[in-house]
């Protein structure tokens, strides 16, 4: 198949209501650039801490336009996934990772209360993700990773071949499940948007920031349309799109990667049963990363494919969709005559440690970066990020030792080749011991 029905995102409604764009010259206390989960979380946590602070979110297109409105909707309470390869014999490192995972879980619990309290209709579904092993190497990978997941506080269950088969229709040799939540991500972004507007946050959509000028006292954001917004503090939450702004300062290096997604037309129940008896999310434990979930009788299937840029052409990179479709049919050949309803892709920014970048810039401490949300747990990490920026914005008026600790862990994070070596050795040992 080479004729994919491209759209920006499967999750967007047909009629997207947007707020008016920024006009003239406006002044606020805090300006947030980017209306994805990271930007929305910044405004959400700031408003929770200080209802009087005047906040504006400036979004180039509409809230949820970027990765936050395009993702697969897996909300995981996980630290950056590469941290799972770290040295768990180091008690301090293990404690840090376990603590981070608990911090993520607490935030998801708080978010679930928000969703319930505000009646946000975003298909919030506590479920579990099943990592499915298809060969001895993958079985060894699951056996090696399971105690690590448990060590950081994830509730895991390991299944042998016969029981594993309930999770996917293709040949499973063993399986490992752990808790996640699935969401309709765009509806969650819209729910947060709605709440922020009710709290008096100024939202400017269809407003692209072109450049930033800063003085000792304030920072001026200039839009491509000639309007401007002056603020004491600015949070940059533009993730993969950060290079679209002339920040006038150097930012830490991070790469851009693309993930591609397919949604089938609604499927008959017998086909859904052949995909998965339990109809819960599933995926590979290997480096080739493909995952799937059933949503409203459709199969959503996706994979991270390539280092990229953030252009519309990257979103529709044909060879990546051909590869993804081939992988889907390899697992579910009986879907050969099922039409694909929508194909879409999106970009994330990620550094080699997968640790987000949350810190004031060296050049001007009033410009705070909140970016680098990629990897397998980008949704969860971006959605808690406002907790990490609030005390920076409020000049430590609210002391938050937990936020400080997590920022410190992000900053200290570095890529060690020992991680993959440790994983490879551990998996091989497990394989040989069987
Ligand atoms: C297809 C796909 C599937 C994914 N699946 C998952 C998943 O299932 N689970 C998971 O944990 N993670 C997943 N991720 C990653 C996750 O979606 C991201 O980590 C997260 O959404 C990043 O949020 P963000 O707010 O940092 O960035 P974004 O959502 O990209 O937000 C950045 C915003 O900034 C705006 N912007 C850009 N430039 C400007 C400018 N000059 N002026 C004003 N605004 C600007 C953009 O329009 C955009 O809305 C997936 C990503 C993709 C692309």
DSSP 107-158: HHHHHHHHHHHTT--S--EEEEEEEEE-SHHHHHHHHHHHHHHHHTT--EEE
Q: State both tokens at 382.
A: 């971006």
Most distant pair of Cα atoms in the chain: their distance:
69
Q: Which of 71, 178, 184, 305 to mutate to test the pocket of ligand 1 (most atoms within 8 A of CB)?
A: 71
User: Which of 239, 345, 383, when mutated, tests ligand 1's pocket best, judged by the most ligand atoms within 8 Å of its CB?
Assistant: 239
Q: Provide the β-strand partners of residue 306.
A: 258
- Ligand 1 atom having least distance to the Cα of 345: 1
**Nearest residue to 22 (alpha-carbon basis) of 199, 229, 200:** 229
CA 39 to ligand 1: nearest atom:
25
Beta carbons within 8 Å of 36's beta carbon, 6+ residues apart: 63, 64, 65, 66, 67, 68, 69, 189, 237, 239, 373, 382
Q: How far is CA 120 from the centre of its chain?
A: 19
Nearest CA to ligand 1 atom 50: 71
Give me the average pLDDT of each 10-residue run along the chain (434 residues): 92 93 97 98 96 97 98 91 90 96 96 98 96 92 93 94 92 94 98 98 98 90 97 97 88 89 98 96 82 97 86 93 96 96 95 90 93 89 96 82 96 82 82 77
How many distinct helices (H) and strands (E) make up the chain? 12, 17
Q: Whose CA is nearest to atom 15 of ligand 1?
A: 378
From residue 70, alpha-carbon distances to 8, 41, 73, 185, 383 in Å are 8, 17, 8, 7, 15
Ordered DSSP codes for 294-320: EETTEEEEEEEEEE--SSHHHHT-HHH
Which domains occur in the chain, in start order? 21-124+183-253+353-421 (3.50.50.60), 129-180+255-350 (3.30.9.10)
Q: Which atom of ligand 1 is nearest to the CA of 223?
A: 42
Neighbour count for residue 408 (Cβ, 10 Å) = 12
d(CA 4, ligand 1 centre) in Å: 22
User: Residue 215: its pLDDT value, please?
Assistant: 81
Ligand 1, residue 240: give the atom nearest the CA. Answer: 30
> How far away, in angstroms, is 2 Cα from ligand 1 center?
26
Whether residue 172 contacts residue 142, with contact meaning beta carbons closer than 8 Å, is answered with: no
Nearest residue by C-alpha to atom 33 in ligand 1: 34
Distance from residue 66's CA to the centre of ligand 1 (Å): 4
Query: What distance in angstroms lies between residue 352's CA and the mean position of ligand 1's atoms?
Result: 18
Q: Tokens 């609604």 correspond to what residue? A: 266
Model confidence pLDDT, tens digit, residues 421-432: 788 888 888 878
Which atom of ligand 1 is least distant from the CA of 58? 43
Closest residue by CA, ligand 1 atom 53: 346
Going from the Cα of 382 to the center of ligand 1, the distance in angstroms, rounded, reads 9
The alpha carbon of 238 and the centre of ligand 1 are apart by a number of angstroms equal to: 8
Ligand 1 interacting residues, C-beta cut-off 6 A: 33-39, 58-61, 65-68, 70-74, 76, 208-209, 237-241, 244-245, 259, 261, 302, 345-348, 373-374, 376-380, 382
Q: How many Å lie between the centroid of ligand 1 and the Cα of residue 68?
A: 4
**Cβ atoms of residues 407 and 62 within 8 Å:** no
CB count, 10 Å around CB of 52?
7
Output the residue whose Cα is nearest ligand 1's atom 9: 74
Give the ligand 1 atom nearest the CA of 74. 8
Using one digit for the tens of pLDDT, what is the confidence trace for 252-297?
888 999 999 999 999 999 999 999 999 999 999 875 679 999 999 9
Residue 248: its pLDDT value, please?
A: 84
Decide: 160 and 175 in contact? Cβ < 8 Å: no
pLDDT digits (tens, 9 = 90+) for 164-220: 999 999 999 999 999 999 999 999 999 999 999 999 999 999 999 999 998 878 999
Distance CA 350, CA 86 (A): 18
How far is it, in rounded angstroms, from Cα 65 to Cα 205?
10
pTM of the model: 0.96
């Amino acid at each position: 198949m080479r004729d994919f029905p491209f759209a920006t995102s499967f999750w967007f409604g047909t009629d997207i209501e947007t707020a008016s764009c920024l006009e003239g010259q406006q002044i606020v206390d805090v300006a947030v650039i980017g209306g994805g989960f990271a930007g929305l979380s910044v405004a959400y946590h700031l408003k929770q801490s200080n209802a009087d602070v005047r906040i504006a979110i400036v979004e180039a297109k509409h809230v949820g336009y970027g990765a936050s409105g395009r993702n697969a909707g897996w909300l995981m309470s996980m630290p950056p996934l590469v941290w799972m390869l770290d040295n768990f014999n180091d008690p301090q490192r293990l404690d840090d990772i376990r603590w981070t995972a608990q911090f993520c879980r607490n935030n998801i619990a708080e978010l679930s209360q928000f969703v319930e309290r505000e009646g946000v209709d975003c298909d919030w579904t506590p479920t579990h993700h099943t990592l499915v092993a298809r060969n001895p190497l993958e079985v060894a990978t699951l056996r090696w990773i399971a105690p690590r997941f448990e060590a950081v506080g994830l509730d895991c269950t390991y299944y042998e071949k016969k029981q594993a088969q309930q999770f996917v229709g293709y040949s499973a040799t063993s399986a490992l499940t752990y808790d996640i939540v699935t969401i309709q991500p765009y509806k969650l972004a819209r729910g947060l948007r709605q709440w922020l507007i009710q709290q008096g946050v100024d939202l400017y959509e269809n407003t692209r920031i072109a450049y930033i000028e800063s003085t000792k006292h304030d920072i001026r954001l200039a839009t491509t349309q000639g309007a401007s917004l002056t603020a004491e503090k600015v949070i940059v939450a533009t993730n993969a799109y950060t290079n679209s702004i002339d920040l006038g300062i150097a930012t830490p290096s991070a790469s851009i990667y693309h993930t591609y997604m397919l949604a089938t037309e609604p499927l008959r129940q017998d086909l859904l049963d052949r995909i998965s008896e339990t109809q819960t999310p599933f995926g590979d434990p290997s480096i080739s990363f493909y995952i799937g979930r059933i949503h409203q009788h459709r199969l959503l299937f996706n994979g991270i494919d390539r280092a990229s840029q953030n252009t519309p052409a990257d979103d529709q990179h044909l060879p990546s969709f051909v590869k993804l479709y081939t992988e889907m049919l390899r697992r579910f050949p009986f879907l050969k005559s099922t039409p694909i309803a929508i194909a879409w892709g999106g970009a994330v920014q990620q550094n080699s440690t997968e640790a987000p970048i949350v810190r004031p810039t060296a050049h001007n401490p009033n410009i705070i970066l909140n970016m680098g949300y990629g990897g397998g747990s980008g949704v969860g990490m971006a959605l808690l990020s406002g907790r990490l920026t609030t005390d920076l914005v409020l000049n430590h008026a609210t002391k938050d030792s937990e936020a400080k600790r997590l920022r410190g862990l992000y900053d200290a994070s570095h890529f060690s080749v020992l991680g993959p070596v440790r994983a490879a050795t551990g998996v091989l040992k497990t394989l040989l011991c069987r």
